[in-house]
Each structure stands twice: as structure tokens, then as C-alpha cells.
């Protein structure tokens, strides 16, 4: 499935986030691409708030990974990874993300998935790709791609 939509402002995420959440499932990996300042962390904050995270979601740039409890019927935990600072793909092993995703109701958001292409390819059936392309001002073009069952 492929979708493309335009955001005129940050408030427009509010329209699209419920549709994205409807496609999330325990063990899903949401891979978010875009240049610096595109809005990857902003999207993650809005998604986390929609899913009931009570604290402010911060970019895990230096920590590499943060986890948040969710208040949602089927999704109970969000693991937020920033792969920007990973020097090599093997560094993903230290995060134990596969084990984190085994926790019931856990989903992951990975910013800068370009840093770990092989790791994501091995889990392609669980990956939802979201690319954010800045336009003028707050405007963004968003591409969303995921495999359908049987693909």
C-alpha cells in the first residue's frame, strides 16, 4: 500500500495519525526518513500523544533509544530509536531492539532508517515506511508505504 499526502501545517498530522495508527500492530516498525528538520521527531511526539504518552517525547539522539508506555487498546509500548549516530549497522545489536519488540503490544519508531538498511530488510514484513519531505514553511509532503498481507 502506498499513500501520499500533503500537510499544510503541523496541525494537519491530527487528521492522518489515526489512519496510521489503524495500520500499526504489535511488533510493527515505523521507519521515518527525511532530512534534518523535516519533522521526524515532531511526528513521533504527535503519534505518541495520540497513543496516550503522558510525558514529552524527546529525540533519543544521544541515548539512541527511549521507551514510553502507551494508553491504547492494542498498543502498550513505544520504543523510539534514533539511528543517526550509529556508526555501523552492527551497532543495532547493542540496542536489543528485537527483544524489545517481543514485549506484548510494543511498536518501534526508527528515525534515520537509512543507517540500518539490512536490519530493516530482514524485517520487511513488519516495516511501515514514512518519508517526510519539507516544502515551503511548515508544509510537508509525506509518503507512506507498507506491505499488504501476501506481498
Residue 1 exposure: Cα atoms within 13 Å on the Cβ side: 13
Structure confidence at residue 148 (pLDDT): 61
Are 24 and 127 contacting, i.e. CB atoms less than 8 angstroms apart?
no
The β-bridge relationship of strands 140-146 and 106-111 is unpaired
In the chain, the percentage of residues whose pLDDT exceeds 70 is: 94
Output phi, psi for 126, to 5 deg: -105, -5
Residue 102 exposure: Cα atoms within 13 Å on the Cβ side: 4
Q: pLDDT digit string (tens) for 61-83?
A: 666 899 999 999 999 999 999 99
140 pLDDT tier (thresholds 50, 70, 90):
very high
All domains in the chain, ordered by first residue: 2-146 (3.40.50.300)
Amino acid at each position: 500500500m502506498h499513500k501520499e499526502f500533503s500537510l499544510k501545517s503541523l496541525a494537519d498530522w491530527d487528521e492522518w495519525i489515526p489512519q496510521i495508527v489503524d495500520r500499526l500492530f504489535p511488533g510493527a516498525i515505523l521507519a521515518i526518513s527525511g532530512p534534518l528538520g523535516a519533522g521526524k521527531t515532531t511526528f513521533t511526539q504527535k503519534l505518541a500523544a495520540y497513543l496516550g504518552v503522558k510525558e514529552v517525547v524527546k529525540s533519543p539522539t544521544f541515548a539512541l533509544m527511549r521507551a514510553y508506555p502507551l494508553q491504547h487498546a492494542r498498543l502498550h509500548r513505544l520504543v523510539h530509536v534514533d539511528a543517526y549516530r550509529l556508526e555501523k549497522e552492527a551497532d543495532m545489536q547493542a540496542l536489543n531492539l528485537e527483544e524489545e519488540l517481543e514485549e506484548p503490544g510494543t511498536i518501534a519508531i526508527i528515525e534515520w532508517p537509512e543507517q540500518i538498511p539490512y536490519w530493516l530488510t530482514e524485517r520487511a514484513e513488519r516495516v511501515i515506511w514514512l518519508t517526510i519531505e519539507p516544502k515551503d514553511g511548515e508544509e510537508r509532503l509525506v509518503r507512506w508505504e507498507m506491505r499488504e498481507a501476501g506481498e
